[in-house]
Amino acid sequence: MAELSDDELLAELGVKVEAKKAGGLTPREERVIAGFEDIVRFHQEHGRAPLHGEQRDIFERLYAVRLDRLRGLSECRDLLAPYDKFGMLNAATATAVAAADELDDEALLAELGFDSAKTDDISVLKHVVSREEKRAAEEIANRTPCEDFMTFEPLFEQVRHELDSGVRQTRNLDKAEMQLSDIRPGEWFVVGGQIAYIASAGDTFVTEYDRKDRRLRVVYDNATESNVLARSLQKALYRDGAGRRVTNPSAGPLFGNEAEGDDLESGTIYVLRSKSDLPDIAKHRELIHKIGVTGGSVETRIAQAAQDPTYLLAEVEVVATYKLFNVKRTRLENIFHRLFGAVRLDLSITDRFGKPVMPREWFLVPLQVIDAAVEKIRDGSITEFIYDPATASLQKAGKRKSS
């Protein structure tokens, strides 16, 4: 192999001579360290340094060539000394130079899918990623069982329902527009083929590279969770070809001047309490409310409540009504279902034919919160809020307190 200058060898290893940033490594030094860490992991797995030879695995042969060149560069030996736990950079441990009939480094790279003729930068080893990228991937992969998943399961069910009904949508991630501040509690994403919910976030801190970051608790729809850095999740979303952002529910034009389809000239939001003697209902009677929308008389709507499993087969009490004009009923009902989906009453009632019915419009939510929600519907700000069961209050999206 022709003798190469130090600068040429550094270029092949992904290092260009450049001034270090104060207090950190250059990106190319990071890449050299990441490449050497591959060799260290190989030693850990096989109990020896990588060797040359046609009978060897293609990655082992590449690692062997890389190790030979790292040993020959004093700059690299100094840089990698803290990571050389097996003493592989010591000249005394060096293996013999590859025989002439063995593949050289360029041929090895070609066999790995790298074509140096297509780029001016032979240092771009596609199978060597930066240490920062590796850490991000490891964080996302390092998931643990979510012990309190039952708390989040209704939220995931509601999001799936809203995606199916079109209340929410999934959108491609725009790397140019998406900011770290967009990855915040209350937001939903699709990463690794799973729906991910950001449940909480720690305090913001500054990394060694003078960038802001913070720890997130991310819960996934397969009942696992991870404690990841916001930037790690951001990188995982960008790398994932199917990574998507789940939009927040949009009320659309709740109120308008022109009637469309199921629009009503006037409508009423009504809130009911049940007079049922069922123990679970009686115990929480002051908190359990049915929220509905009608274009007619509320009294007419509830006249047959005692015979209707939708009303828990019991008489009901009207505790609040709110008059609206030109209301789009379906969108309005979807807003309430989205907002209070996490505290929907989980109860099955048997109808007069013996079939089980699960009413969907009863929620464990205080009346004053419903009143606040209606006011935010009227002023159009409701899509900026979520309901926090822990504090029994509406919280600005991204400001939800961790339980």
Yes or no: say if 158 and 205 are a contact pair by the CB < 8 Å rule.
Answer: no
Section 354-382 average pLDDT:
84
Q: pLDDT at position 121, please?
A: 42
Section 198-219 average pLDDT:
86
**3-class SS of residue 276:** coil
Q: State the chain's mean pLDDT as an integer.
A: 75
Which residues on neighbouring strands pair with residue 226, listed in sequence order? 218
Yes or no: say if 37 and 130 are a contact pair by the CB < 8 Å rule.
Answer: no
Q: Report domain extents, the chain.
A: 6-128, 133-246, 266-396
The region that residue 229 occupies, defined by phi over 0 for left and psi between -120 and 50 for alpha, beta otherwise, is beta
Taking CA 300 as the corner, what is the angle to CA 363 and CA 265, rounded to the nearest 5 degrees?
A: 85
Dihedral (CA of 190, 194, 197, 199) sign: negative
Which residues on neighbouring strands pair with residue 212, listed in sequence order? 206
pLDDT band of residue 102 (cuts 50, 70, 90) is very low
Stronger pLDDT, 30 or 95, i.e. the higher one: 30
pLDDT in tens, 114-124: 444 444 443 44
pLDDT in tens, 272-299: 999 988 888 888 888 999 998 887 788 8
pLDDT in tens, 128-180: 445 555 555 555 557 889 999 998 998 898 888 878 776 778 887 766 556 77
Q: pLDDT at position 207, please?
A: 76
pLDDT band of residue 28 (cuts 50, 70, 90) is confident
CA–CA separation, 91 vs 255, rounded Å? 78
Stronger pLDDT, 325 or 193, i.e. the higher one: 193
pLDDT in tens, 229-238: 888 888 888 8
pTM of the model: 0.38
Six token digits for residue 313? 């087969």
Q: Which residues contact 117 (CB under 8 A, 6 or more apart)?
A: none
Stronger pLDDT, 334 or 371, i.e. the higher one: 371
- Tally of CB atoms within 10 A around 5: 8
Section 77-103 average pLDDT:
64
Q: pLDDT at position 219, please?
A: 93
**Choice among 68-72, 84-88, 361-365 with the minimum mean pLDDT:** 68-72
CA–CA separation, 156 vs 158, rounded Å? 5
Section 370-374 average pLDDT:
89
Question: Nearest Cα to 267, choosing from 280, 282, 256?
Answer: 256
pLDDT in tens, 251-271: 444 544 444 444 444 578 899
Starting at the edge strand that comes first in sequence, how are the strands of the sheet with 244-246 ordered? 144-145, 224-229, 215-220, 194-201, 188-191, 244-246, 170-172
Which residues on neighbouring strands pair with residue 316, listed in sequence order? 274
